[in-house]
A = this chain, B = another copy of it.
Amino acid sequence: MTSVLALTGGVGGAKLALGLARVLPPGELTCVVNTGDDFRHLGLDISPDIDTLLYTLAGLADPVHGWGRRDDTATFMQALTALGGATWFHLGDADLAMHVERTHRLAAGHSLVAISDDMRRRLGIAQRVVPMCNEAVRTRVRTAEGWLAFQDYFVRRRCEPAVRELEYLGADAATPVRELQTLATQPGLRAVVICPSNPFLSIGPVLALRGVREALARCTAPVIAVSPIVAGGAVKGPTAKLMGELGFEVGHAAVAAHYAGLVDALLVDDDSGCAPGQAPWITAPTLMQTLEDRERLARCVLDIADRLAAAPRP
C-alpha cells in the first residue's frame, strides 16, 4: 500500500524524495519519475532522472554534482576519447553498468518499469521507483536553431540556446503507469508530492501524459507542490533562465500558474508575490543543502498534507 506518491525529475526532486524516504516508514513512498530526458547515446538507453533517483536513494550519488555516482572512475571515457567516440555526455564506469544492463534488458523484452523495480531492489532501495511510462517520451526544445533533442540542449549545448517552445514527443500515445492512472481514487493515499524539479522540463512530461492532469485535479488525497525557485532564482539548472525565455516572470507565480487547478498547496520560500485565487501558498525553507534540510522539508510537506486532509475541503 503506497501512502505517498512523489512526482519527480532529477537532482532537485531527488533531494526531496530522499527526505521523504528517510522520514516515511520503508515501503510507504513511491516515486514516479520523468523519462522525458531519456535518450539513446552510443547505442545505450540512458534514463538520467531514474538513475539520479536510484543513486540518491541508494546513497550512491555523487555529492558534488548530484548526478552520477560517487567515487566513480573515468577509464571508459578516457579510452573512448582515444577511439574518437562521442564525449559530450560523461559516462562514469560504474554508471555505465546501469546503461548497459538496462539496454540489454530492454532489448530482451523487459519493460522499463520492471527493470527499474529490479534495479532499485538490487541497490537495496526500499522505496518504489517507477518511470512515468514504459513508452519513449522525448522532450525537445525549439530554439533559434530549430528543434533540439533534450540532451543536445541540456548537456551538449549547456542550456545556452534560448528556448521558445517545449514539446514532449510521444506523450499523447504513451500509457501512464498504473500509479498515475489510479492516482485520483487510490485508497490510503496520504499525499501526492510534486517535487521541486523543473516544472516545465521535469514535471511537464509527467503532466503531459494522458489523464494525469485530470487525475491530479480529481485526486482525493492532498496534492502538494514544492516550488523549485529559491531566493528568486533556481538553485541549479536552467529553471529560471527557461522561465524567462518562455515569457514568464521568474518566480513562484509562474510555478503556481503551471500547476493551477492541480495542487492543493504550493510550498514557497517567500510568498511576497502571492496572487489571490491560486492554490494556497505556504512558506517554508525550501532550500535543501544538508540531509537535515531534506528531512525537515519532507516532514513539512507531510504535515501540510495531513492538515489539508483533516480540514474540510472547499
Contacts and interface: CB of A to CB of B under 8 A. Distances in A.
Interface in A123-170: 123
Contact of A73 (B42, B75, B84): B75
Contact of A97 (B83, B94, B97, B100): B83
A79 B104 contact: no
Interface string A62-76: 000000010011011
B85 A101 contact: yes
B73 A100 contact: no
A123 B84 CA distance: 10
Contacts of A119: 83
Contacts of A43: 43, 100, 103-104, 107
A118 B84 CA distance: 9
B122 A93 contact: no
A257 interface: no
**Most B-side CB within 10 Å, residue of A94, A95, A98:** A94
Interface string A244-270: 000000000000000000000000000
Nearest to A91: B100
Contacts of A73: 73, 75, 93
Contacts of A97: 76-80, 82-83, 85
A129 to B, nearest CB: 14
B101 A42 contact: yes
B96 A83 contact: no
A44 interface: yes
Nearest to A102: B83
Interface string A23-65: 0000000000000000000111000000000000000000000
Interface in A252-294: none
A85 B100 contact: yes
Contacts of A93: 73, 75-76, 79, 93, 96
A75 B78 contact: no
Contact of A82 (B44, B92, B107, B122): B122
A262 to B, nearest CB: 35
Contacts of A75: 72-73, 75, 92-94
Contacts of A78: 94, 97
A101 B98 CA distance: 17
Contacts of A94: 75-76, 78-79
Contact of A76 (B80, B96, B122, B123): B96
A47 to B, nearest CB: 14
Contacts of A77: 97
B84 A122 contact: yes
Contacts of A83: 97-98, 101, 119, 122-123
A82 B42 contact: no
6 contacts: A43-B104, A75-B92, A78-B97, A79-B96, A85-B101, A93-B93
The 6 A-B pairs at the shortest CB distance, nearest first, are namely: A79-B97, A75-B93, A79-B94, A80-B97, A93-B93, A43-B104
